[in-house]
Chains A and B, each alone.
Chain A
Amino acid sequence: MARFTLNGKSTQVDVEPATPLLWVLREQVGLTGTKYGCGVAQCGACTVHIDGKPVRSCVTPVSEVEGKKITTIEGLAKNGALNRVQKAWLEHDVPQCGYCQSGMIMAATALLSAKPNPTDADIDAAITNICRCGTFQQVREAIHAAAKAKA
């Protein structure tokens, strides 16, 4: 049995402790916004926040998140309002196929929490996600726009 807080709700799942958090989220909890892309922490499509930090959930055993606070793409909006990164993503029409974008948005949201006014170099260092469609130009624009939009 694993217990953690997921998007603000206390959650428990009956699953083998070695199961990657990614598959617990997708298959036990039923939240499929977090994507499987590589399973080896390369692509970042599975990025979630654990206690506010961006983590690749495909290589994080569920046993490691016992008692921790997890946020997924489904948990970013508050009372139905998208967060500023999601809004910037809409405004800048960022996604193409969209499959990597959950992870990209989670990474960008974590970056802005840590660095409210990121430089291009900060973005280069923090956003290591693979996007095969090649949305990087819009991703960069949207992150800068989201930084400016902060309250």
Chain B
Amino acid sequence: MKMNRRSFIISSAAVTGGLALGFNLPFGPRVVRAADGSPEINAWVVIRPDETVVIRIARSEMGQGSLTGLAQLCAEELECDWARVTTEFPTPGANAARKRVWGDYSTGGSRGIRTSHEYVRKGGAAARMMLVKAAADQWNVSPSDCSVSKGVITGPGGRKTTYGKVAEAAAQLPAPTDVPLKDPKDWKVIGKPLKRLDTADKVNGKLVYGLDIKLPGMLNAAIKDSPVFGGKVASFDGAKAQSMAGVKKVVQVGDSGVAVIADTWWHAKTALDQVDVKWDFGENGKVSSESIAEQLKAGLDAQEAFVHNTAGDANAAIASSAKKVSAEYSYPFLNHAPMEPNNATVLYTDERCEVWCPTQNGEAALAAVSEASGLPISKCDVHKTILGGGFGRRGFTDYVRQAVLIAKQTPGTPVKMVWSREEDMTHGRYHPIMQARLTGGLDEKGNLKGLKIRLSGQSILASARPEALDKGKDPFTFQGYWPQGEHSLEYTIENLHIDHAMRNTHILPGFWRGVNINQNAIFLECFIDELAHEAGRDPLEFRRSIMSRNPKSLAVLNAVAEKGGWGKPVAKGHHLGLAHFRAFGSYVAACAEISVRDNGSKVKVHKITAATDCGYAVNPAQIERQIAGSFVYGLSAAFMQECTVKDGAIQQTNFHDFNSMRIAQMPKVVSIVMPSGGFWGGVGEPTICVAAPAVLNAYFRATGKRIRTIPLKNHGIEMV
């Protein structure tokens, strides 16, 4: 987003809803005010008379910490007192009314910081310039004769004033047109391991998540949507539910769902269990995990496929190689299972529709509200809560739409719709299912001469964002395998062919933390280990030999090898495994240390040494937490999670059959945050993908058994 005077100008449209911004003229003395009356210096910064600094955060906060990181970026340039910083979320409705002054709200793809750092810093810098100018004007001096530190402005002769005192005057100044940013070497707030800004209310139960919203007179709704995607309600009998305690209404939701509206959610849920629904599942009701596996297997041999990275002549190189190695891998459907089940609270009237919900994409949620309510965007708004986890699931708006369709049936009375965990588990946007065949050719010296990767499986974009397909091809299927760019393959292989036979299913896929790097890293990094083994070469040395053109990748790999103890004596019975990948602009690697017992059926992951080069590390302490947390998410999947399909429906219903790691299984995670500068890489997702292949490679060294399908529980292997 280009920062100029215009982008700070308030549109003439009235802003209504949660954030009362008031009217303003583009120029002139009237000031835009926050809800409490404090002056807005610009869209990003509000200064209260008590010196509190309010920094506006457009992106969602779901635990990843970018609320704090984004505030650091703005505060760095603002030169305010960090101890006085607080944050607020401008609503998507306000953003729409102000010509998207806050830019993109979408929070996914590890983009929260890396695609908004510049305009957020400029927002802080422009505000600082205006505050200093206001002070200089009062003193009749030049701003260049003033300095500022922690919100205190010092002028010639040592006279001082504060941001709080000059905020009113600053808010009336025109926005500067030329807003230079600091040299990174001068950063004082960016790069510091500061504590999160949103912790206090998370330790005392006070934080209001979407699930905790209470509105006067609010009713509660529980919903049951078709257990089979694409299925419809044929008929339902709600008579028994209607007679139960607290029940107000039993309603149909769209053509595929039934909901009970009651005084409490417990009453609604209990009554919903008594609604007898007849479904029409159509052809999708015949699909099973077995039929999908057959469909994908056929794709491994299909003639037609989308090619995304090719060099030389892989077929010829492999055919003429001294040793040919081939293996097939697969990766299952997975549910996101954030701890807070999907929910949304809606107040619908004929004139307006207001929604409170956890969402990773406030603007998409607003569009869904408008569409479902039938009201224009200017008459709708979405109030974002802090999310109880997201992991990609809440970039979708299906649950927001449902809640609006329910609330339309109780106009004037707010309704909170909450999914049961069972509803959440069976109505996900699942990690795409994928199979792969990898074929490599080694020469007599054990050098890799050619590599082919055939992917067969689902495209997320084909169902979630078909307009983003490239002539039918989904480039994101190839994350980590790109010829160049933020998901590039970091190995230089002279004869290469990577393609994708797209095989979609009725099970809707979604962006699941890491997205396609989860399976792509396992496929490639385990197969590279297989090749090294067949070549009789050390897996570290083998990787280095094909990575020499990519020093940043080499650096993270070397870092984990050194700190993880590769090539040195390890504890008796312990074994190491390596993995490396590039994704979301960052360079990541891991060295896993495991031991096994009971004939390989029990695996203890003792330690994972992980390195990431994300260019600039805005908050190293939070990055360390993202690394360790991503391993919990990734290893839970690798060891114990899989969503299977029977009669068209997802079979897993709760954490008893879709388990997740506990503290006893947590390895020690040693993080190496090694930002090399000059670029902005993602943090929330990249590291997730190296945990599983590093563990699988260690498992091979421990047992001689190569595991090529996830989850490990299907091989009788338990994480202890």
Contacts and interface: CB of A to CB of B under 8 A. Distances in A.
Contact of A140 (B339, B387, B666): B666
Interface in A66-97: 72-74, 76-77, 82, 86, 89-90, 93-97
B420 interface: yes
A94 B65 CA distance: 12
B265 A74 contact: no
Contacts of A30: 214
A72 B205 contact: yes
Contact of A31 (B205, B339, B621, B664): B205
B19 to A, nearest CB: 23
B571 interface: no
Given A33-B206, A99-B389, A140-B663, A42 B655 contact: yes
A94 B418 CA distance: 27
B539 to A, nearest CB: 26
Interface in B196-221: 196, 198-209, 211-212, 214, 220
Contact of B339 (A73, A90, A100, A125): A100
Most chain A Cβ neighbours within 10 Å, of B220, B245, B631, B666? B666
Nearest to B198: A98
B718 interface: no
Interface string B662-700: 111010110000000000000000000000000000000
B51 interface: no
Contacts of B207: 98
Contact of A129 (B214, B337, B662, B668): B662
A49 interface: no
A42 B203 CA distance: 21
Nearest to B340: A99
A39 B420 contact: yes
A88 to B, nearest CB: 9
A14 to B, nearest CB: 11
A14 B333 CA distance: 44
A135 interface: yes
Given A37-B339, A38-B654, A97-B388, A77 B662 contact: no
Interface string A123-138: 1110111111111111
A40 B654 CA distance: 8
A90 B656 contact: no
Contacts of A99: 209, 338-340, 388-389
Contact of B656 (A42, A82, A134, A136): A42
Contacts of A95: 63, 196, 199, 202-203
A76 B660 contact: no
B522 interface: no
Contacts of B200: 90
A27 B264 contact: yes
Interface in A4-38: 16, 19-20, 23, 26-28, 30-38
B632 interface: yes
Interface stretch (B125-133, B311-319, B472-480, B622-630): B622-630
Interface in A133-151: 133-140
Interface in B327-348: 337-341
B266 interface: yes
Given A96-B63, A98-B202, A40 B421 contact: yes
A45 B204 CA distance: 14
Interface residues of A, number: 58
A73 B204 contact: yes
Contact of B205 (A40, A74, A137): A74
Contact of A23 (B265, B339, B629, B661): B265
A45 B391 CA distance: 18
B633 interface: yes
A133 to B, nearest CB: 4
A95 B622 CA distance: 11
B30 interface: no
A129 B660 CA distance: 10
Given A27-B264, A86-B203, A97 B663 contact: no
A30 B216 CA distance: 13
A37 B389 contact: no
Contacts of A127: 662-664
Interface string B115-158: 00000000000000000000000000000000000000000000
A137 B624 CA distance: 10
A105 interface: yes
Interface residues of B, number: 59
A36 B632 CA distance: 21
Nearest to A95: B202
B339 A35 contact: yes
A57 interface: no
Contacts of A16: 245
B663 A96 contact: no
A92 B716 CA distance: 37
Given A39-B420, A130-B655, A132-B633, A93 B204 contact: no
A23 B358 CA distance: 20
A31 B575 CA distance: 48
Contact of A135 (B62, B211, B625): B625
A133 B389 contact: yes
Contacts of B63: 95-98, 133
A74 B204 CA distance: 6
A16 B63 CA distance: 36
Interface in B392-425: 418, 420-421
B625 A138 contact: yes
Nearest to A32: B212
A35 B204 contact: no
A94 B628 CA distance: 12
Of B63, B208, B209, B211, most buried by chain A (CB within 10 Å of CB) is B63
Given A43-B339, A133-B63, A89 B662 contact: no
B713 interface: no
A98 B64 contact: no
Nearest to B212: A32
B195 A89 contact: no
A77 B629 contact: no
A82 B204 contact: yes
Contacts of A35: 209, 211, 339-340, 388
A121 to B, nearest CB: 9
A38 B427 CA distance: 15
Nearest to A126: B663
Contact of B668 (A40, A124, A137): A137
B629 A96 contact: yes
Contacts of B664: 124-125, 127-128
Nearest to B656: A42
Given A20-B266, A97-B338, A128 B662 contact: yes
26 contacts: A32-B214, A35-B209, A35-B340, A36-B341, A37-B339, A42-B654, A82-B203, A86-B203, A95-B203, A96-B65, A96-B625, A97-B389, A98-B201, A99-B389, A101-B203, A125-B664, A129-B662, A129-B663, A131-B339, A131-B632, A134-B629, A134-B666, A136-B662, A137-B668, A140-B663, A140-B666
Interface of A: 16, 19-20, 23, 26-28, 30-40, 42-43, 45, 72-74, 76-77, 82, 86, 89-90, 93-102, 105, 123-125, 127-140
The 8 closest A-B pairs by CB, nearest first: A33-B205, A134-B632, A97-B63, A99-B388, A98-B202, A134-B629, A96-B63, A124-B664
Interface of B: 62-65, 195-196, 198-209, 211-212, 214, 220, 245, 264-266, 337-341, 386-391, 418, 420-421, 621, 625, 628-633, 654-656, 660-664, 666, 668-669
Given A37-B421, A123-B663, 7 more contacts: A35-B388, A74-B206, A90-B200, A125-B664, A128-B664, A130-B339, A134-B633
